[in-house]
Amino acid sequence: MADDLERLFDEGLPKGRKSLAFIKKAYDSGPQVLVNRLITDKLLAMSGLSFHIGTDDPTMRRIASWLLTEHQDRCDDLIQRLWKRCGREDVKLIGLLIANIEGDAWAKMLQIINKGIPIDLFLEMAEEIKRSGREVPPVQFFNNWQSSDIQKQNCMLIASLSMKQEYVEMVRNTPPGGELFERIRQRSLDA
């Protein structure tokens, strides 16, 4: 027997802007939504994101898997549209898609993230890319992505996933961030 998400997938992914409404409906298809609603409403106000539904990881992975299997040719366009809308689930889905599409996932991630997002969400995206078997890039790669404070901070967060001696100077000289960011910096330098 098909669940709500399978029935939605059977409708197929619409074209254009309707695809975003379809994907948001997919986020709402899991059983976790009502349970998480109170928590997510409080978190949304502080996050700078357009929405936070509270979709669980298994549902997010099913959505990403379906998109990659049935609509891989549309994923690059969807990533751009999802980033523009910038809900929490959109950003998580972007991470899952980038991690599983051919090409330089780190460069795609750094290219698309041009504004601050919650650190936990950024690290989730980065961890997903690392789990896909991609090594954290060398410091020379990061030097090409140092044009703004956001990019410098994002490079430092990626480097913190696999701290190496070659990253020390970059990590030390990254512009300051909030409390969690500074704890990550200190832990990386102490490693």
Among 72, 101, 130, the domain-final residue is 101
| Pick from 5-9, 43-47, 97-101, 180-184: least confident | 43-47
- Compute the average pLDDT of residues 86-106: 95
Which residues touch 122 (CB under 8 Å, ≥6 apart)? 113, 154, 157
Q: Which of 90, 79, 81, 18 minimizes the C-alpha distance to 47?
A: 90
- pLDDT of the residue at 146: 81
Range of the domain at 47: 1-101
In this prediction, residues 159-185 reach a mean pLDDT of 95
Each residue of 29-72: pLDDT tens digit? 866 554 455 455 455 555 566 676 778 889 999 999 999 999 99
**Residue at a domain's end among 101, 120, 137:** 101
pLDDT cut 70: percent of the chain above it: 87
pLDDT for residue 71: 96
pTM, entire model: 0.88
Residue 7 within a domain: yes
Residues 173 and 96 in one domain: no
Percent of the chain at pLDDT exceeding 90 = 74
| 181 within a domain of the structure (yes/no) | yes
Tell me, yes or no, whether 106 lies in a domain. Answer: no
- Answer yes or no: do 3 and 41 share one domain: yes
Domain membership flag for residue 44: yes
Q: How many domains does the chain have?
A: 2
Rounded to whole angstroms, the Cα distance separating 187 from 191 reads 6
Please check whether residue 174 lies inside any domain of the structure: yes
Residue 1's pLDDT is: 43
Mark whether 115 and 78 lie in a shared domain: no
